Amino acid sequence: MSEKNKLVPEKGIHTDFLQKMTYGEYLSLDKILSAQNPLSGHHEEMVFLIIHQTSELWIKLMLHELNAATKLITQDIYQPAFKMLSRVSKIQSQIIQSWDILATMTPAEYMEFRDKLGNASGFQSYQYRLVEFAFGNKSKHILEIYKKDKELYDCLYEALYQPSLYDVSIQALAKAGLEINPKLLDRDWSEKYEEDPTVEAAWLEVYRNVDKYWNLYQLAEKLVDLEDWLQQWRFRHMKTVERIIGHKMGTGGSSGVTYLKKVLDGYLFPELWKIRTQL
């Protein structure tokens, strides 16, 4: 390299960190980068570990945004909530892309370490359950998986009995003067939401009078974005599992691909999809 092209360090760059916090310390990189502990000697297990660990970090951020947005909507504070929900959609797209990396693993490679997982499975991800609860996909029996850890169980139990993002959105429809079945406004939040004709009629009114219900219209589209991305995530999950293990039973005891295909048939915000045919 010629003298002309040599990089000259800038004089103001800090180099003395004996008494100062470093980048690695702020991010706790010592903990994060030492958390990958493969149980086999196979090269591919590191890919499997890191994909799932980073996904859990993204899900943690999703929950941070979803919980804050849900609270804001109950207070009729919409614009900051919309930004948070848009961020959740971007996070979802990021997680979806991670399946492409995992899909580079072949069936033969995965079989080299699959037995080391025992009964551990992504099905047991408590953060993913919290996301589903936040969206309104409630399930009491799923809590049985988490009885080993009382603190974790209590966290999920509390989330189970909180109104979901869709529940507070329905309440927002009622507050705007749209006719909503009163039973939906103070129901047992631990029960999975079932579609209701009054909610369908209310959303239809919103879409037919966009200017009048502009905030609710934007909210509806944010909800559709979230479910759209969630379904895409579920589909990529199912196809990646099928590609790597075929139709074997999952390590957590589920039917694997068969179970994942069934999940694709459900709707979280059914009325928002149904009204599209009527508009």
Q: Which helix (H) or strand (E) holds 187?
A: none
Q: How many CA atoms lie within 13 A of 273 on its CB side?
A: 13
Q: What is the largest CA-CA distance in the chain?
A: 78
Annotated binding site: 110, 114, 237, 251
How far is the C-alpha of 97 from the C-alpha of 152, rounded, in Å? 29
Annotated binding site for heme: 237
Annotate 2-55 with DSSP letters as a single string. Answer: -GGGPPPPPTT-----TTS--HHHHTTHHHHTT----SSS-TTHHHHHHHHHHH
| CB 142 within 8 Å of CB 132 | no
Annotated binding site for substrate: 110, 114, 251
Q: How many residues does the chain have?
A: 279
Q: Which among 228, 223, 225 has a CA at the least distance from the CA of 172?
A: 223
Residue type, 191: E
